[in-house]
Amino acid sequence: MPVTNKIKTNVPLAPYTTFKIGGPADFFVEIESKDELEEAFGWAKEKNLPFYFLGGGSNILISDKGLRGLTIKLGNKTIDVRGERLYCGAGVSLAQAAQAATGHKFSGLEWAYGIPRATVGGAIRGNAEAFGTNMSDLTETVEVYNAKKKRFELYSKKDCKFEYRGSIFKKNGHLLIWQGTLKLFAADGVDIDKKVEKVLGFRNAKQPKLPSAGCIFKNVSADHLKESNPELYSRADRAISPRGEVSAGWLIDSAGLKGKTIGGAKISLEHANFIINIGKATAEDIITLISYTKQQVRDKFRIQLSEEIGYLGFE
């Protein structure tokens, strides 16, 4: 079937996000093959329409007005384990990748248990991380569709230019991740089940149950805090990670903002770096609460928070 037959119009996007927020996409298509992808881009180009990518929608805020142009949901869900390597389509859920890894007694993805709906493509783009392991620690190669050059390209780990919560893909909106090869570790001496249990236990206790988009803000460099606010730094020891980052949640909590509510958006009582949708929150409510939080933390601690989540449709 030609992909143009699959393109739908005026599709509400809220159900495609974990925030459950966002207006409609003018045009929406779920892509399953390379041919479909190239055809969809060709269609959008011919009509001079902008395009947006959607993975699991677990780290984004979509505008109440929705998205003009073509929204492409990555449906490439092929997954294969060969030796210590996991070959994942960009649309494979992180949870499924983690299960495939542990099912084959490989270690490396235990941290990804309990993250709802995230895809491997979205996780590579944002260099997702938890409990000290980053996607960049596992990613060996990434197959990418370069929408400017209209061709598929293979990126080595070095080409991906991974950084804290970022990569070359985050800086270049024309690069769509199609597939990722992850290198896992033999579980020599590692009790994988125990690790998974610990991760799930932590997430159950700390992760709010209401709709959210995970952590809103990036953590802050401890050196930066030491310079800007030595007094607060002296109290931050337990909030500093082994990598030298101060938890943004701790800063927000220390500013007394847990529970702060604007419209349907609330700073979670369980984890201050989560904003939850307590029912009928709009993107406007979330943005207003984000701005308020940044202003309060800046005024109280002279620290500028920056967002980990991405915004779509606000340009």
Residue from 88, 90, 95, 305 binding ligand FAD (CB under 6 A): 90
For residue 303, the number of C-alpha atoms closer than 13 Å in the C-beta half-sphere is 31
Nearer residue to ligand FAD within complex by CB, 123 or 232: 123
Residue 106 tokens, joined = 């490989």
Nearer residue to ligand FAD within complex by CB, 254 or 277: 277
Which residues from 155-174 bind ligand FAD, rule CB under 6 A? Answer: 169
CB of 234 to ligand FAD, least distance (A): 28
Cα separation, 215 vs 229, in Å, equals 23
Told to check if 219 binds ligand FAD by CB under 6 A, we report no
Tell me if residue 176 falls in helix, strand or coil.
strand
β-pair partners for 31: 74
Residue from 7, 37, 62, 118 binding ligand FAD (CB under 6 A): 118
Told to check if 75 binds ligand FAD by CB under 6 A, we report no
- Distances from the Cα of 111 to the Cα of 129, 140, 199, angstroms: 8, 18, 6
φ, ψ of residue 37 to 5 degrees: the values are -65, -50
Residue type at 252 in one-letter notation: I
- Distances from the Cα of 275 to the Cα of 242, 264, 268, angstroms: 25, 10, 6
Whether 165 is catalytic: yes
Part in contact with ligand FAD (CB under 6 A); list of ranges 100-108, 109-117, 154-162, 185-193: 109-117
**Is 297 in contact with 220 (CB distance < 8 Å)?**
no
Part in contact with ligand FAD (CB under 6 A); list of ranges 50-58, 96-104, 276-284, 292-300: 50-58
Active site residues: 165, 215, 308
Q: What is the binding site for ligand FAD (CB under 6 A)?
A: 18, 52-60, 74, 90, 115-119, 121-123, 125-126, 128-130, 169, 176-177, 207, 212-214, 310
